[in-house]
Structure 1
Amino acid sequence: MFGNYLIGLREGLEASLVVCILVAYLVKTDRRDALRPVWLGIGIACALSLSFGALLEFGTQELTFEAQELIGGSLSIVSVGLVTWMVFWMKRTARHLRAELHGRLDTALAMGTGALVATAFLAVGREGLETALFVWASVRASGEGSSAPLIGVLLGIATAVVLGWLFYRGALRIDLARFFRWTGAMLVVVAAGVLAYGVHDLQEARFLGGLGNKAFDVSETVPPDSWYGTLLKGVLNFQPDPTVLQVVVWVLYVVPVLVLFFAGRNRSAAPPLRPADSPAG
């Protein structure tokens, strides 16, 4: 559940910051007339993201087991690639995000209502589609039959919305560079588990061989139905009996990605979000 909460928090906060920057800029520049098309674009982006998530969840149920596993494994790998790109993108552009969005809004204001709707839709829609895909893949990887993963995601998004509102009101100051650095690192570990589970799906579909070649089996030491087994599964997508290929893929992903992520982190530090950045400031 924690891993899904982290996904909802991290992805939701990015979207909340984008919305906060767009709305605050229009309010501070006395262009409240442009708020309606901006909110329309944001609403369309949210609806599209929810529809995409529903399509992923219900669109494959009529397929054969092998086809479901093949699609699930492939989309899990795609989602890990997108999230990895997003983590590095935010690390690189966090400092300039506000100026970039302001420039897009200035251009859209000069072009008219349709451009404002499109600008808001594109700014939020990318985050929403990435979130829908990664949440779907993470919930599959968690293997929980309950609603706990979805509850974790919703709690994370709700927390992000509250934080975004506090940013907008100027009531909260946070070091965004540090926040995105450490949540990004934790998200890489979660993504590694999703990637390993994606490989597991492809092996179940017999696309990458079978599941017979186990790297180890600690099911008796860490029973999957125990509280600590459930905790490890929910946080790290831990599997007590992974195959050799799953372990190799996990290590080959998480080690170089974390090394590259923390390399030169001080050069890309983003300034804290201050009350002065909000309309209240």
Structure 2
Amino acid sequence: MLATYLIGLREGLEAGLVVGILVAYLAKLGRRDLLGRLWIGIGLAIAVALGIGALLTWGPYAMTFQAQEILGGVLSIIAVAMVTWMTFWMGTHGAALSKELRSSVDAAIDRSWFALVVLGAVAVGREGIETALFVWANAAGGSDPLFATLGAVLGILTAVVISWGISRGLVRFNLGRFFTWTGLFLIFVAAGVLAYGVGDLQEASVIPGWGTSAYSLVAIVPPGSWYGTVLAGIFNFTPEPTWAQVFAWVAYVAITVPLYLLMLRRRSLARAAAVPPAAAVAPAPAAGAPAAAVPVAPGPGTARTEPAAVDAT
């Protein structure tokens, strides 16, 4: 439930930021009359995400066992690919997200009335489909489907409240740090989903090696223990993985984590390079000369006239 809650919270905040930028820009342009089209697109995106979730939940029951396992394995791998891509995309494009969305709005207004509907659907639908796939894959890997779905819904509702609070200036926190740490957490969640997907493909005889465990941790982490249930629900942990599952998990983490940390380092260096160097200390004024104005940092009682920029990465 914790994993799906964080998935819903993160993806919901991403969607909330996108919607907030689009709505604020239309208001700034004085085109509130176009908000209805935008909300139609957002509603379509939500409906598609819910439809995909329902199809994944009830659709496979009419399939054979082998077909279900193949579908589960393939969709788990697709979900991992989507989450990984979105994590890196937000890390590299988040700072320019507002500019890109505003440009998209300008282009949509110049085209046709339906273009804004499509923009709203695409902007939010990406997070919605990704959430539906990843929540389903996480639940199929061992979490109780009801609790997994409940966790995702609570995460999305929390994101809606936070997004509303941010838009009203009632909530302020470091979004960049939030996305950084949840991105790292989701990498390990995705590694477990990938291992689960490989196991599904092995059960369907698409990948050989099913039934031969690489090692056994049953004595340390019994499947029925509370901590075994927690690990299985969050990270799709299994105490007796196959060699293919171990290889997939280790390879994914060994490749993705260093690349993610390298991306964070490059982003940090780029920000540091963009900060103007501190002004040199001016020499003391001559006797009788007027003192130069010294900029004073705003104190607790000083009002700020310029709103702080929100880092969405």
Fold match (TM-score > 0.5) = yes
Shift of 1:19: 0.7
Aligned twin of 1:144: 143
User: Structure 1 vs Structure 2: percent identity of aligned residues?
Assistant: 52
Which structure has more helix as a fraction of its residues? 1
What aligned pairs does 1:1-281 form with structure 2 within 5 A after superposition?
1-141=1-141, 143-145=142-144, 147-268=146-267
Residues 5, 152 of structure 1: 8 Å contact kept:
yes
**SS class of match (2:62):** coil
| 1:171-217 Cα distance to aligned partner (Å, 9 max, x none) | 22233322211111100100000000001111111111242221111
1:146/1:78 CA distance change after superposition, 3 Å: closer
| Deviation, structure 1 residue 227 | 1.1
Secondary structure (helix, strand or coil) at the match of 1:59 reads: helix
Which ranges in structure 2 are unaligned for 5 or more consecutive residues? 272-305
Q: Deviations over 1:211-251 (max 9, x none)?
A: 22211112232112211111111222111111111111100
Distance (Å, rounded) in 1 between the aligned partners of 2:120 and 2:243: 45
Judge conservation of contact 2:139–2:233 (CA < 8 Å) in 1: no
Q: CA deviation at 1:30?
A: 2.0
2:61 aligned counterpart, secondary structure: coil
Secondary structure of 1:209's match?
coil
- TM-score, normalization: structure 2? 0.83
Q: Secondary structure at the match of 1:216?
A: coil
Question: Counterpart of 1:157 in structure 2: which amino acid?
Answer: I
Counterpart amino acid of residue 100 in structure 2: E
Deviation per residue, 1:141-188 (Å, 9 max, x gap)? 1x2345111111111111111111112112222333222111111001
Higher relative contact order structure (alpha carbons within 8 Å, sequence separation ≥ 6): 1
Letter in 2 for 1:5: Y
Q: For residues 88-138 of structure 1, give each alpha carbon's deviation from its aligned partner in whole angstroms, at most 9, with x where no partner exists.
A: 101000000001001111111222321111111111111111111111111
Answer whether contact 1:170 1:275 (CA < 8 A) is retained: no
1:23 counterpart letter in structure 2: V
How many pairs were matched up? 275
Greater CA drift, 15-24 or 229-238: 229-238
CA contact (8 A) 2:210 2:242 kept: yes
Q: What is the root-mean-square deviation of aligned Cα atoms in Å?
A: 1.9
Change (3 A) 1:277 1:102: farther
Scaled by the length of structure 1, the TM-score of the pair is 0.92
The structural deviation recorded for 1:60 is 1.2
CA distance in 1, matches of 2:263, 2:69: 39
Tell me, in whole angstroms, the C-alpha distance in 1 between the residues paired with 2:263 and 2:197. Answer: 30
